[in-house]
C-alpha cells in the first residue's frame, strides 16, 4: 500500500465517497476535499451545467487539472468524481500521490441511494439501472486497478460503515 499522508477515494456514483470521505477526514484529523465541489466552486456552475453547456470533454479536462492541483497537497482526504479514473494520467496521479481506497457498491444499492438524485449527468434520463450497470462494466475494473484497498458497501448507513472503513485503513494504511 502506498505509504502516503494522502487518502484518495474512488468508486462509482453513489458509493459514498463524499459521505464516508468527510467522516474519514474528521476521524484522522485531515482536511477533506470533494473534487466535484471544488470544480463547481471555481467555475461557478454545476457539473450538470458544465456537461450541458460545454460538454463532457471540457469537464474532464477541468477535472484532471484540479486533481493534479489538489493531489499535490500533503495530508488530505480527497473524494474523486466517479469518472476521474478513466484518464490514464489521473490514474497515475492517484496511484503515485496517495493511498487509494475504492468504495465498492452494488447497482441495487446505488439505485437506492440515488433514487432522488437529479443532478448527476452520467445517470440522467431513463433506465438508471441500465446506465449504472454499463458504467460498472466500464469502470469497476479500473477502480480496482488503482486501488490499494477495496471497501465493500453492505446496504448500511454511514454510521455503520465508518468503523469498518477505519478498521480496514488502520490495518493497512501507513501514513508517511
Q: Where are the alpha helices (DSSP H) in the chain?
A: 17-28, 35-43, 47-54, 56-71, 88-97, 107-113, 128-146, 158-172
d(CA 50, CA 32): 23
What pTM did the predictor assign? 0.88
- Show binding-site residues for substrate: 36, 60, 139
Query: pLDDT (tens digit, 0 to 9) for every residue of the chain, 176 residues total?
Result: 677 899 999 999 888 899 999 999 999 999 999 999 999 999 999 888 888 899 889 999 999 999 999 999 999 999 999 899 999 999 999 999 999 999 998 877 777 766 666 655 556 667 778 888 888 888 999 999 999 999 998 777 888 899 999 999 999 998 76
- Show binding-site residues: 14-19, 36, 60, 120, 139
- Show binding-site residues for ATP: 14-19, 120
Domains of the chain: 7-169 (3.40.50.300)
With beta carbons less than 8 A apart as the criterion, state whether 9 and 103 touch: yes
Amino acid at each position: 500500500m502506498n505509504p502516503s499522508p494522502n487518502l484518495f477515494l474512488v468508486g462509482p456514483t453513489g458509493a459514498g465517497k463524499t459521505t464516508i470521505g468527510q467522516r474519514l477526514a474528521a476521524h484522522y484529523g485531515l482536511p477533506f476535499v470533494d473534487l466535484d465541489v471544488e470544480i463547481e466552486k471555481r467555475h461557478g456552475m454545476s457539473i450538470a451545467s458544465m456537461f450541458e453547456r460545454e460538454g463532457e470533454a471540457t469537464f474532464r479536462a477541468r477535472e484532471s487539472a484540479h486533481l493534479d492541483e489538489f493531489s499535490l497537497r500533503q495530508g488530505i482526504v480527497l473524494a474523486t468524481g466517479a469518472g476521474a479514473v478513466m484518464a490514464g494520467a489521473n490514474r497515475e496521479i492517484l496511484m503515485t500521490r496517495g493511498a487509494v481506497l475504492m468504495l465498492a457498491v452494488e447497482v441495487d444499492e446505488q439505485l437506492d441511494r440515488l433514487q432522488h438524485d437529479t443532478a448527476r449527468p452520467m445517470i440522467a434520463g431513463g433506465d438508471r439501472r441500465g446506465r449504472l450497470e454499463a458504467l460498472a462494466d466500464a469502470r469497476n475494473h479500473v477502480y480496482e486497478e488503482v486501488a490499494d484497498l477495496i471497501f465493500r458497501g453492505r446496504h448500511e448507513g454511514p454510521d455503520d460503515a465508518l468503523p469498518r472503513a477505519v478498521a480496514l485503513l488502520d490495518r493497512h494504511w501507513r501514513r508517511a
